[in-house]
Every structure is written in structure tokens, then in C-alpha cells.
Structure 1
Amino acid sequence: MERKVKYNYEFKLHCVEEVLNKNRSKGSVAQEQEISKTNLGRWINFYLKYGKEGLLSRKNQNYSSDFKLKVIRTIDQKCLSLSQACLFFNIPNDGIILAWQRQFKNHGAPGLVQKPKGKPISMTYKRAKKKSDKPLTREEELLLENESLRAQVAYLKKLQALIQAEEAEQNKRHKP
């Protein structure tokens, strides 16, 4: 699969003007600039319909679920192709509409609702218990000491196992 390249506004405008103002063919401009004829055709159509603003990139555009539903229904009612729908609704890429159609097919209208991005806010974290000002009882002190000693013993056992594994590995290397 080919790497997706993003072109800046000046480059798009230059290519479109080469075709429209200098009467060059799409194929020759596309070949000279090493771009696809499909992209160039899309840029020309957006330029003809929306002017220079049609060539501006629309990064991270958010569309409402009502708009998405309107696009899908208009495509069905008017039998529009994806590229015609992109031009009609000023949507930069037909892959966006394809995703909406998939979501609508699988989940209906609720599938078109914008989902929040990023980490959920309602995540719960385990918080360390706050130390109280009152002194610990003898039993609590012993429990804490017992827990600490168990952790130390587990650490030492793991360390000893690692050392033995390393020594066994070295012994295997030295024996012919």
C-alpha cells in the first residue's frame, strides 16, 4: 500500500492553475508533479465549486450525527457516487463517507454519534491510604512489619533464582 502524502495549499493551487489557466491536461500535470490524476481531478472539482477555499485542508473536522445522516440519505435518494457526495457536501475524502455508511449499516443512526476520544475521564485509580495522625497499635505495626519481611523474602528468592539460572547458563557454555 502506498504511503499517504499530504499536499500543501500552494502546491494544490499551482497544479489546478496549470490545468485550468495553461490548458494542460490532467495527465501531464499529474505525471510531472508525481501525483495521481484522481487527486488532481478532485482538487479541480473542489476549486471550481468552492474557489480557493476548496483547496484548504480540513484537518480533524467534526461532523454532527445529523449531518452524517443527511449525507447518507442524500446519497441514497439522489443516487450520488461517493465523489459526487464529497463535492456536494464539501467533504475532503470519500473514505469518511464510507466509514459513516459502515457505521450506519452496523449500528443504525446511533452509530453515527461522535464518540469521545482519548482516555475516559471516569477512570478510577487506587489511591494510597492516607496516613493518620494517630499512632499505630502494636498489632498494626506487626502486620506492616510482616508484610515488609514477606516482600523482602520474595525479592531475595527471585534474585537467587536469577543468579542460579545465570550460573547454569555459564556452565553450559564452558562444558564441551
Structure 2
Amino acid sequence: MSEATRTRTHAPEVRQRAVEILQEGVGHRALAAELGIPQATARQWARAYAVGGADAVLNAGSHHHTYSYDVKLAVVKDRLENGLTVREAMIKHKIPSESSVKAWCRQYRESGESALVDKPRGRKPRVKKAE
């Protein structure tokens, strides 16, 4: 796997320093410059911080959250019909993941409300053959 496609994890010290910088009200560009991290990462951390505070940055990705159909639909409607920005929708609904909001909006545009219903995951159960 190439260096460019590998997911990077950041040391707890880097995340802690990011929280300290974000507490000062610094924007994501200055955060990226200060820590030497990509602007996309800094923007993601700044949005997560706005939603969930220090814990959302320090523990990002350590917990898999699932959201109900109603929450997903409310986020999508606020974003697409009420004109909220991604950040505003994240904060209003306490969704720390920008990618989740964007994915739900994309799925809704492509397939409608039914695309937001959770589908069973994993291997399909084996059907026993009648003898």
C-alpha cells in the first residue's frame, strides 16, 4: 500500500495539542499550519470539536456510532431543504462526522428516503435445504 493511500493516525499528543489550539478559537488553516497536518484533517477536527468538544477530537474514530432513520432524515432535510451548511447540520444534530452527513445527503439524492434505512450487515444466513 502506498504512503499516499494509507490512513494516518495521529499521536494522542498531536490531538491534545489540537484541542488546546482549538480552545483558543483558531481556525482550521492555522491549526493545520501549526501542527503540520493536512487542512482536511484540521477542518474535520475543528468540526468535530464544534460538535462534541475535546472528547470528539481526542477519541475520534474510536467508537462506531449508528443513527436512527429519523435522525438521518432530519439531518438531510436540514441540509438540503433548509439550507444548513454541513457544519451547521453537524452541530444542530450532534453528528461529529462530516463524512456521515455528506454520505446521507448523497444517498438521499440518489435513492430517496429509503436509502437512509439501515440494511443488515454481514454474511447472509444459510438456508437449510429440506431433505
Deviations 1:64-109 (A, max 9, x none): 1111000011113431222332233232332222221222223322
The residue number in structure 2 matching 1:65 is 69
Aligned mate of 2:55, from 46, 53, 56: 53
Deviation (angstroms), 1:117: 0.8
Taking the TM superposition and a 5 Å limit, the aligned residue runs for 1:5-154 are 5-7=8-10, 9-18=12-21, 20-21=23-24, 27=29, 29-48=31-50, 50-55=52-57, 56-58=59-61, 59-121=63-125, 123-124=126-127
Displacement of 1:43 in angstroms is 2.4
In terms of Rg, which structure is larger? 1
After superposition, the C-alpha distances for 1:98-144 in whole angstroms (9 at most, x for unaligned) are 221222223322211111111012x22569x8xxxxxxxxxxxxxxx
Calculate the TM-score normalised by the size of structure 1: 0.55
Structure 2 residue runs of 5 or longer lacking an equivalent are: none
Q: Give RMSD over aligned pairs.
A: 3.2
Per residue, is there more helix in 1 or in 2?
A: 1
Aligned length, in residue pairs: 126
TM-score, structure 2 as length reference? 0.70
Aligned 8 A contact 2:48 2:97 in 1: no
User: Where does structure 1 lack aligned partners over 5 or more consecutive residues?
Assistant: 130-176
- Percent of pairs identical after alignment? 25
Q: Which of 1 and 2 has higher RCO (CA within 8 Å, sep 6+)?
A: 2
